[in-house]
Structure 1
Amino acid sequence: MSDLIAQHADVDAADNEWLHLLVGDWQVVSDLAFADLVLWLPTREGGFVAIAQARPSTGATVHYDDIVGSMAPEGQRPQLEAALREVRAQRSREPRWFGAYAVREEAVPVVHEGRAIAVLARQTNLGSGRTPSRLELNYVEAADDIMGMIARGEYPSANGATGPRRGAPRVGDGLIRLNSEGEVLYASPNALSCFHRLGVIGPLVGQSLVEVTSGLVEHQSTVDESLPLVVMGRAAWRTDIEARGVSLSLRALPLTDQGQRIGAVLLCRDVTELRRRERELMTKDATIREIHHRVKNNLATVAALLRLQARRMDAPEARAALEEATRRVATISLVHDFLSQTLEEQVELDSMLKRALRMTADVASTRTVVRTVQEGSFGMIPAEDATPLALVLTELVTNAVEHGFPDGRESGTIRIVVERDGSQMRVVVADDGVGLGEADIAELGRQSRSGLGNQIVRTLVTNELGGSIDWRARAGGGTEVEIQVKLRDGTHRG
């Protein structure tokens, strides 16, 4: 829509925003009117271009094909021009025929700050040919009131709600018409059913809706402060009312004439099951978050116990083995700490890995100052791939520090290069240390005879990440380890 406006007309930012507000909230008008709505914008060349279109969900449509981007036909242009020039609605005296069915047309100027900036065409399919019911008559009367507001620049409401307070419920869910005092003029059968579930006995017509709802609200329950304004039709907001285990969503559309309130349209929907599922999801999310937090705490306890045990060991090899186990457990704990802060299926891993790798390099190096440098970004990683990937990288950095930089080197660098194309990821861990000989590289290729750390790395890469790993000598000295993995796409690999 923005592209069409910029292509065909010179519209300032305020008018552009007003047209977007109208299109964002006009489906309710189309449903009430049982009519297609087409927003026609005057072009620089003097014609009209369709920049938006809405079809009714309550009746037959006129345009089975999308007409957005097309120019207004010659036969319709005089009506659109008159509505724009005179700044008042223009209704055709005779219906226009679209193939086998007749269409009643009305052109309503879209007014903003006293100026007509576009024309809204209301096209009703007359093919049904049946006598309208009381419900349909009330729908159309409400639509007429809103179309009049559009022609006066009073709809949509510039101060209306956004986000979750706008939108659902829809016209077919339940409709109530109120007068200026908040008394019910008409309630559709679906609306009556909604309030009967709340505990209302008898008809609603003639009653003050705010008095009816105030008697339903339980004293101990939390009440939205906007509820009185919505049920009286004074605010274009949406709110919920809960009573006797039933949740009702209410949305008000105030009706005005020259700034004076003349009534309101209230839409309602029974959302009891929806709210129950939302509460279940919130409970499950909190449970998962708590599980991650407890796992992290338990792993931290295990790491602390291993650290204490390592300090009591006299044998250097046993102490080193326990310290390595402590580091691995601490890495898993760090990942769980990161996962406990989010419940998304995809997690951003760069910040956590930088922290883990920096800690690994600092712990593994005794006298040599080793810095880690990362090139590229891991991006969003599936949560179930985060733990094995973090363990693999910390193991590789630890091995590079321990074996690549023996005592006597003052400093060294470990470079981690990340290349990613969708789910395919290539990671190279390279150090500028003493390097590996051909015999050492051959030894690493035999999993059964390589060290425990390398066995862990190979197992995680091949089994958990479904990838491959390769050790080789680095040009210019040092060692390179290349990992190629295919990340999960959100589904579990069988």
Structure 2
Amino acid sequence: MATLAEIASLRTNLSESSVGHLHRLVASWSLLADLSFSDMLLFVPARESSSAGHTDFVVLGQVRPNNRATMLNDDLVGTTQRSTRWPLVTEALDSGTLSIGTVEIDGIDEPLPNWAIPIQHDGAFIAVLVRIQGPLRGPASAYETVYLETFGRLCEMVTEGTFPYRESDVAGPGFPRVGDGIILIDRRGLIEFATPNATNALHRLGLYASTEGRSLKELGLHVRELERAREFGIPRREDVARGSEVAIDFLCLPILNTAEVTGVVVLMRDVSELKRLDRQITSKDAAIREVHHRVKNNLQTISSLLRLQSRRSEEPAVSMALLEAERRIRSIAVVHEALAKEPGDVVEFSEIVNSLLVMVEESVLASHPVDFLVDGELGSLPTDIATPLAIVIAEVLMNAVEHAFTEFTNDDVGMVSLTLRHEGGHAVAEVRDNGKGLSAKFSLEVPTSLGLSIVRDLVRNQLRGTIEMISESPEAGGGTLVRIRVPLGSGALR
């Protein structure tokens, strides 16, 4: 389905600024629909007129009320509407004033109350907000009367160009809604009216005194953002808490008349349960972070013990085996260090790669320099992939450093590059060096070291991927290329 901006671009003469204004209106107009118990349509003059010379209109938006049944079962967005069927729309657009009457709707026997509210932006009337109201259930109650009066005041702001607010949206997912509770504040800051739900919310905050004719501050409740909304004429929002168990979301919407604040509509929503869940999630994240931190510390302790033991060993082979074991444990610790910073089921692999390179560089014992280069990234990976892949990459990098440059002199510079990318649903890691290449008898099926055995088994058995090791031709720079491909789809791991 085409968006508001796409329809406006193809079928109207609206400027980019005007389209942005209507976008802000549509983002917040569920508030208007609920206050008026009405369906709302957004009419804009079409670029081309009808053959009879009348101005046609394009419907750019439609919203239904949450607190009443809709009068419009059809989706009218994108349709062309004749001005002869909607005379009030033409009248409102030409006069720049509210037009009130009735309109006939297909499938409904009686004409329905109809308002046409001209929308002003940058000194010009660019569109019309159409209200179609269904019948109220009997005489309007006290709170319904307040809703309708508040809707009328907001319509005046629409015509003046001060609603929607330039600063922010005021309706939509996560915002308090009309049915959650409303307090109407007058120009003096005193409470004119509070709905039953709003009164219940105040009770939750410990306020049981009569509210009418008194300010929230006088009642013992200081809502800083309410004062800012009154002072600066901009919408403000604040969570007001009572201890750790109660939290009420206050959305303060100033009502303006020729740029003067004449009152504030306060929408209230009890968010105590949401805050409690947020605290639980925060506590859980902290606990998971602490677990990863302790695992990392324990692995580092084991690593340190192995390193100390390797230094005490008088057997070079034993010392080397202990150092290799120590390095593998550090590779696992690197993943837990990343998870300790940001717990979850995925981890940013670039952070792990950076730590692995530091570890490998610190382990270089060659008499000649070795430069490392990283190109590309894998983004966020599931931890079940990141941990074994980190061990594999560390092993391959160390293997290149230890075996590729044995024929280099002190003046030669070794180069090891790591290339990371996504390719056809796989994570691909390639390690290249400019060393001597593989021997003619080399076979990965019969590895000559424990490290390569670990790499092969992790890639094939745990990651369900593939690994190949080949000698590059002199034309390609020589050396060895190790290519690892790991599937990322669900069910790829074992």
Give the TM-score, by structure 1 length.
Answer: 0.86
1:203-238 Cα offsets, whole Å, 9 max, x none, are: 433332332242xx7xxxxxx742544699965211
Counterpart residue number, 1:168: 175
Q: Distance in 1 between matches of 2:59 and 2:202?
A: 40
CA distance in 2, matches of 1:375, 1:271: 46
Q: Which moved more, 1:472-481 or 1:168-177?
A: 472-481
Deviation of 1:375 after TM superposition, in Å, equals: 4.5
Structure 1: distance between partners of 2:171 and 2:176: 13
Q: Deviations over 1:309-368 (max 9, x none)?
A: 222222111221122223223323333333333345443323541452364256245124
1:155 aligns with 2:163: yes
Greater alpha carbon shift after TM alignment, 379-388 vs 4-13: 4-13
Counterpart residue type for residue 486 of structure 1: P
Q: Identify if the C-alpha distance between structure 1 residues 236 and 358 changes in structure 2 by more than 3 Å, giving closer, same or farther.
A: closer
**Which of 4, 8, 19 lines up with 2:11 in the alignment?**
8
Q: Is the 8 A contact 1:178 1:233 kept in 2?
A: no
Give the 5 Å matches for 1:15-414.
Answer: 15-46=18-49, 47-92=56-101, 94-100=102-108, 102-126=111-135, 130-159=138-167, 168-214=175-221, 225-229=224-228, 235-243=234-242, 245-343=245-343, 345-350=345-350, 352-357=352-357, 359-360=359-360, 363-364=363-364, 366-409=366-409, 410-414=412-416
CA contact 2:464–2:492 (8 Å) conserved in 1: no
- Write the distance in 2 (CA, Å) between the matches of 1:492 and 1:168: 40
Q: Distance in 1 between matches of 2:197 and 2:340?
A: 43
Report the 3-state secondary structure (helix = DSSP H, G, I; strand = E; otherwise coil) of the residue aligned with 2:266. strand
Report the secondary structure of 1:254's partner residue: strand
**What letter corresponds to residue 39 of structure 2 in structure 1?**
D
Q: CA deviation at 1:174?
A: 1.0
Gaps of 5+ in 1: 218-223
Task: Give, as a single letter, the amino acid of the residue that structure 1 aligns with 2:211.
Answer: L
Please tell me whether the aligned partners of residues 233 and 265 of structure 1 are also in contact (alpha carbons under 8 angstroms): no
Partners of 2:220 and 2:127 in 1: CA distance: 40
From 453, 456, 459, the equivalent of 1:458 is 456
CA contact (8 A) 2:120 2:159 kept: yes
User: Deviation at 1:455?
Assistant: 2.4
What is the RMSD of the two structures over their aligned residues, measured on CA atoms? 3.1
Q: 2: distance between equivalents of 1:109 and 1:334?
A: 62
State the match for 2:52 in structure 1. Answer: none
Determine if contact 1:209/1:231 at 8 Å carries over to the other structure.
no
2:237 partner amino acid: R
Question: Residues 433 and 150 from structure 1, CA distance in 2 versus in 1: closer, same or farther, beyond 3 angstroms?
Answer: same
Q: What amino acid is the match of 1:96?
A: E
SS in 2 for 1:281: helix
Q: How far off is 1:427 after superposition?
A: 2.9
Deviation at 1:187, TM superposition (A): 1.9
Alignment of 1:407-422 (within 5 A): 407-409=407-409, 410-421=412-423
In the alignment, the residues of structure 2 paired with residue 469 and residue 212 of structure 1 have an alpha-carbon distance, to the nearest angstrom, of 72
How many residues end up aligned between the 2 structures?
A: 478
1:445-476 Cα offsets, whole Å, 9 max, x none, are 14xx7522122213322343232333444444
Query: Is 1:194–1:269's contact at 8 Å kept on the other side of the alignment?
Result: yes
The SS at the match of 2:79 is coil
Q: CA deviation at 1:170?
A: 0.5
Kindly provide the CA deviation profile for residues 392-425 of structure 1, in whole angstroms up to 9, marking residues without a partner as x.
Answer: 1110121122222214353343344444246422
- Give 5+ residue unaligned stretches, structure 2: 50-55
State whether residues 332 and 391 of structure 1, in contact with CA within 8 Å, keep that contact through their aligned partners in structure 2: yes
Q: State the alpha-carbon separation in 1 of the partners of residues 18 and 154 from structure 2.
A: 19
**Residue 469 in 1 paired to residue 467 in 2?**
yes
Distance 1:81 1:393, change over 3 A: same
Deviates more, 1:184-193 or 1:26-35: 184-193
Distance 1:400 1:140 in 2: 76
Show CA shifts across 1:109-134 (max 9, x none). 111233212211111233x6644333
Change (3 A) 1:10 1:231: closer
Equivalent residues of 2:334, 2:355 under 8 A apart: no
- 8 Å CA contact 2:62, 2:76 repeated in 1: yes
Using the alignment, how far apart are the partners of 1:32 and 1:233 within structure 2?
Answer: 24
Q: 1 CA distance for matches of 2:257 and 2:308?
A: 79
Distance (Å, rounded) in 2 between the aligned partners of 1:75 and 1:276: 55
Inter-CA distance 103–250: structure 2 relative to 1 (3 Å threshold): same
Match of 1:483 in 2: 484
Deviation of 1:150 (Å): 0.7
CA distance in 2 between partners of 1:493 and 1:457 (Å) = 16
Encode CA deviations 1:157-200: one digit per residue, 9 max, x unaligned: 33457899x96111111122222223222222211222222222
Specify whether residues 53 and 277 from structure 1 end up closer, same or farther in structure 2 by C-alpha distance, changes over 3 A only: same
